[in-house]
Structure 1
Amino acid sequence: MSVVDGERTAEDAAQRRREQTGWVWYDWANSVLPTSVTTVFGALYLTAVAAQAAMADTAHNGPNACPMDAEGNRDKLRDCDISVLGVHLPAGSLWGYLLAFATVIQVLVVPLMGAIADRTQNKKRMLGIFAFGGATATALMALVAGSNWGLGVLLFVLANVGYGTSVAIYYSFIPDIATADERDGLSTRGWAFGYLGSVLCLLLQLVIYLYREDLGVSEGDAARLAFLMSGVWWAAFTLIPLRRLRQHQPPHGAEHGGSVVTAGFRELRDTLKAARAYPLTLAFLGTYLIYTDGIATVANVSAQYGSEELGFAADVLITTILIVQFVAFFGGVLHGLVARRLGAKKTIMLSLCVWVVVIGAAYFVPAGEPLQFYALAAGIGLVLGGTNALSRSLFSQMVPRGKEAQYFSVYEVGERATSWMGPLLFAAMAQITGSYRPAIISLVVFFFAGLVLMYFVPVRRAIRAVGNPEPAVL
């Protein structure tokens, strides 16, 4: 190697490090939406606003719209009916339907935007547009008050479209800014950094919420302030990756003219047809969608399990959420270190084994024992981020060059489109058995199936099939 080649290689490595450092900040920025907005404040606040609106409309909708209990009180406001496009449903069901509707919209929008990003290669600009758009919608949720829950529904959907699209484009930068041997470490650092950011923002919001009386704000004001903080946090920290990331590929066919949207549809159609030529990539994606459904379900029902089955109060559940987020930071870093020695595939399989043990242990946690529940939360946090982070980096190895945003769009929306299986199994088992314990342990099937299927996916052959360089350890 000549001196000039050596200097160029050193410059390229320095540029990659600069972009990688900027890239991980978007995990820090966007993680507030799924954590603070979706998991903690969104569900409770929008349900309460919808219920209050239903209560106010009882005079118009009739007394049956908000039924009384045996003492003649209307304490269960979540049972009050609200009207959505002429369809009446309990206010308590609004959040579940809203999550499903937001997922459907993402399934329709995100792949098309991914195709446009690949075709035009304006990935940095599109990342900024959808990130700032989602952040703005999140911040504007602070305006939701009184009876205007419909505004909250609209803004939440827009925030999720911005989140899903920006994340898919964000993932597509991985092959551009990291070599095959750097991707596992980059992805796990990003995921760990994201959990650290989300827990810090959530801590600030919870301090305001828990000490709201001392601060002179109402419960609703504290929730609205959390929405505003989340939007500002998301937008502010997005500036860092936008300053450091750059364009790496020329436009794909944009010079032929015509509508960008029409060309995007054509690009997406061609990519979906061509994907059949890479069955091993699809096999990995199918395997991932199975075990990530289990991961998402555990994250979403753990509070319900702790509340309904184990009888814990809200303070225990909030502490549990913080433990999961905090430990997930160290879990992400640990997965990166292990993957450096064992490779991504083996580390994911090891992580899935830990998931099986943790879910099995959840079945035996006695009611009213918070310390054991906290230990369970730590176990979940240990594998929560790392499993997904290594799946993200491993999938990036199997994506054809120039199709990154489209494949990661399918990766992102596929995760959401299949996320109904775990909650359905959990709900069905709880209904059949009358207990959440069989329901929680039934989720082991997702991790065990993912473990078995992952064993049979030849990831090295999948990487060779798309023409990408293979990492030294896999």
Structure 2
Amino acid sequence: MIKLNKIEKSWALYDWANSVYAMIIISTMLPLYFKSIYKSAGGSASMSTAYWGYANSIGTLIIAIIAPILGTIADYKGYKMKFFNMFLAVGIAFTGLLAAVPTTHWNILLLFYILNSIGYSGSNIFYDAFLVDVTTEKRMDDVSTMGYALGYIGSTIPFIICMAIVILAQYSIIPVSTSTACRISFILTAIWWGLYTIPMIKNVRQVHGIDIEPNPLINSFKRLESTLKNIKKHKKMFLFLLAYFFYIDGVNTIIAMATSYGSDLGISGTSLLIILLLTQFIAFPFSILYGRLADKYKGKTMLYVGVIIYIFICVYAYFIQSTLDFWILAMLVGSSQGGIQALSRSYFGKLVPKESANEFFGFYNIFGKFAAIIGPFLVGIVTQITGKSNYGVFSIIFLFIIGGIILIKVPEDIETISPKIGLSMDVVKKLKK
């Protein structure tokens, strides 16, 4: 385990802070809670899975549209943290407000979920872009994977607390309903997220960027146009983004839909929570392991490993029938989930010109977010047509296969790419003239 300095640690702690959102709101408590109140309203299990998929698609579509624009503006010095804080506030506020939605209004619950997911995803755009400000290229793989590792282990603490509250409520050990216990977990998630973001806000600063100039909005659109043209010219970067577009879609879809799928298989809510908790413990050491192996075998090789494991996961998910099968599936996901995400972030971080990190990470996120529209929608529509969730989950395999094939064409040595990118400062100088 590498030793992080104060700034690196403050940055990595945001993974610790916001991973509780991914765990409780995206993967466990909220989807189970939504399925229960939708069922109470007379809906079917398969339709609740479909609506959950649609909600995930809508939120990611919105953030995908605005990501490159915001990223380009945030490249001005001092802007990155302002945008980070803005989306952070939206995410935390609407996460807490989930607790205020009446159990009879499942549609409002989905609306608030879409809004807090925009805040969560938007803050992550700028958080990812801060990677170039907090560490060196040599340490990026290790720092990025350490962030994900801290996120996985850190999210287990509030998750255990929330799970305990729900279980105690189910057995009437505490005087609250299961529904109220779930709403308490939403409030605790918002508090945890905000509390452990303080070191990030306090200690992390934007190092790389461009000087503020007259008409920043107009010039931002000009730089965005230049970046679009430049990405087309640099085939190697575009190929990586295209590969990332497909395989990260599969990863994000499995994260978002896992609990709904397990519930459709007849696995109890308590069993699902325990399984997903242990998945976090598995993900912690494997995230660090991916970073260590990337130092030895290169990041791209480890990305291949992650893609292959996920292809096997899709095949295995099609055939599972028991709780034990779901246990095995969850452990496989835990072995590669953090590693493939962290190494994708650091791999791209080494490609981009540092002074325009937000601009390029805006595109990194737009590829990731637009991809996250396809997967949940694919699961939703296939499940709705067939009436079988396993068909929907299996359909994700095509995303990993396509992403893996494109990744083959991305060069092994990314250090040979970086000097060629040199886009932004030249563009900025021309714009200033």
> When the two structures are superposed, what TM-score results if normalisation uses the length of structure 1?
0.79
Structure-1 residue corresponding to 2:208: 249
User: Structure 1's 362 and 150: CA in aligned 2 closer, same or farther, altered over 3 A?
Assistant: closer
Instruction: Give secondary structure in 1 for the equivalent of 2:28.
Output: helix
Instruction: Give secondary structure in 2 for the equivalent of 1:79.
Output: coil
Whether the 8 Å CA contact 2:125–2:362 is kept in 1: the answer is yes
Structure-2 residue corresponding to 1:17: 5
Structure 1 residue 426, shift from structure 2 partner: 4.3
Deviations 1:252-296 (A, max 9, x none): 3x232x3x5444434433332332232211110100111112222
User: Structure 1's 428 and 163: CA in aligned 2 closer, same or farther, altered over 3 A?
Assistant: closer
- Map 1:50-129 → 2, pairs under 5 A: 77-79=41-43, 95-129=52-86
Structure-1 residue corresponding to 2:426: none
Separation in 2, partners of 1:429, 1:143: 33
Whether the 8 Å CA contact 2:379–2:396 is kept in 1: the answer is yes
Structure-2 residue corresponding to 1:472: none
- Map 1:314-463 → 2, pairs under 5 A: 314-365=269-320, 367-368=321-322, 370-426=323-379, 436-437=389-390, 439-459=392-412, 460=414, 461-463=416-418
- Map 1:106-185 → 2, pairs under 5 A: 106-145=63-102, 152-185=109-142
- The one-letter code sitting in structure 1 at the alignment partner of 2:330 is A
Separation in 2, partners of 1:154, 1:417: 19
Separation in 2, partners of 1:243, 1:172: 17
Structure 2: give runs of 5+ residues left out of the alignment: 424-433
Kindly indicate whether residue 219 of structure 2 is the aligned counterpart of residue 231 of structure 1. Answer: no
Structure-2 residue corresponding to 1:60: none
Kindly indicate whether residue 163 of structure 2 is the aligned counterpart of residue 206 of structure 1. Answer: yes
Whether the 8 Å CA contact 2:208–2:354 is kept in 1: the answer is no
User: Structure 1's 315 and 430: CA in aligned 2 closer, same or farther, altered over 3 A?
Assistant: same
Structure-1 residue corresponding to 2:148: 191
> When the two structures are superposed, what TM-score results if normalisation uses the length of structure 2?
0.85
Structure 1 residue 237, shift from structure 2 partner: 0.5
Structure 1 residue 304, shift from structure 2 partner: 4.2
- The one-letter code sitting in structure 2 at the alignment partner of 1:275 is I
Structure-2 residue corresponding to 1:294: 250
Structure 1 residue 440, shift from structure 2 partner: 4.1
Structure 1 residue 319, shift from structure 2 partner: 2.1
Structure-2 residue corresponding to 1:306: 262
Structure-1 residue corresponding to 2:430: none
Kindly indicate whether residue 178 of structure 2 is the aligned counterpart of residue 219 of structure 1. Answer: yes
The CA RMSD measured in Å over matched residues stands at 2.9
Kindly indicate whether residue 199 of structure 2 is the aligned counterpart of residue 240 of structure 1. Answer: yes
Structure-2 residue corresponding to 1:269: 225
Higher Rg: 1
Whether the 8 Å CA contact 1:332–1:386 is kept in 2: the answer is yes
Specify which structure has the bigger relative contact order, considering alpha-carbon pairs within 8 angstroms and separated by 6 or more residues.
2
Separation in 1, partners of 2:248, 2:23: 17
Structure-2 residue corresponding to 1:9: none
User: Structure 1's 162 and 263: CA in aligned 2 closer, same or farther, altered over 3 A?
Assistant: farther
Name whichever of 435-444 and 217-226 sits farther off.
435-444
Separation in 1, partners of 2:377, 2:262: 19
User: Structure 1's 456 and 270: CA in aligned 2 closer, same or farther, altered over 3 A?
Assistant: closer
Q: In the alignment, which of 260, 264, 283 is matched to residue 239 of structure 2?
A: 283
User: Structure 1's 289 and 158: CA in aligned 2 closer, same or farther, altered over 3 A?
Assistant: same
Instruction: Give secondary structure in 2 for the equivalent of 1:182.
Output: helix
Instruction: Give secondary structure in 2 for the equivalent of 1:255.
Output: coil
Deviations 1:226-266 (A, max 9, x none): 111111111111101122212313543x232x3x5444434
Separation in 2, partners of 1:293, 1:386: 15
Whether the 8 Å CA contact 1:28–1:193 is kept in 2: the answer is yes
User: Structure 1's 440 and 140: CA in aligned 2 closer, same or farther, altered over 3 A?
Assistant: closer
Q: In the alignment, which of 1, 14, 17 is matched to residue 26 of structure 1?
A: 14
Deviations 1:392-443 (A, max 9, x none): 1001111123221122122223222122433455456657777555554443
Whether the 8 Å CA contact 1:131–1:238 is kept in 2: the answer is no
Structure 1 residue 464, shift from structure 2 partner: 3.6
Whether the 8 Å CA contact 1:130–1:166 is kept in 2: the answer is yes
Separation in 1, partners of 2:48, 2:399: 31
Structure-2 residue corresponding to 1:4: none
Separation in 2, partners of 1:417, 1:238: 26
Whether the 8 Å CA contact 1:126–1:166 is kept in 2: the answer is yes
Whether the 8 Å CA contact 2:95–2:186 is kept in 1: the answer is yes
User: Structure 1's 250 and 443: CA in aligned 2 closer, same or farther, altered over 3 A?
Assistant: closer
Separation in 1, partners of 2:376, 2:188: 30
Whether the 8 Å CA contact 1:79–1:92 is kept in 2: the answer is no
Structure 1: give runs of 5+ residues left out of the alignment: 1-13, 52-74, 81-89, 469-474
Structure 1 residue 159, shift from structure 2 partner: 1.9
User: Structure 1's 101 and 187: CA in aligned 2 closer, same or farther, altered over 3 A?
Assistant: same
Q: Give percent identity, aligned residues only.
A: 28
User: Structure 1's 454 and 108: CA in aligned 2 closer, same or farther, altered over 3 A?
Assistant: closer
Separation in 2, partners of 1:92, 1:292: 20
Instruction: Give secondary structure in 1 for the equivalent of 2:206.
Output: coil
Separation in 2, partners of 1:426, 1:151: 22
Structure-2 residue corresponding to 1:56: none
Whether the 8 Å CA contact 2:91–2:117 is kept in 1: the answer is yes
- The one-letter code sitting in structure 2 at the alignment partner of 1:27 is D
- The one-letter code sitting in structure 1 at the alignment partner of 2:299 is A
User: Structure 1's 340 and 395: CA in aligned 2 closer, same or farther, altered over 3 A?
Assistant: same
Count of matched residue pairs: 415
Name whichever of 376-385 and 150-159 sits farther off.
150-159
Instruction: Give secondary structure in 2 for the equivalent of 1:214.
Output: coil
Whether the 8 Å CA contact 1:130–1:163 is kept in 2: the answer is yes
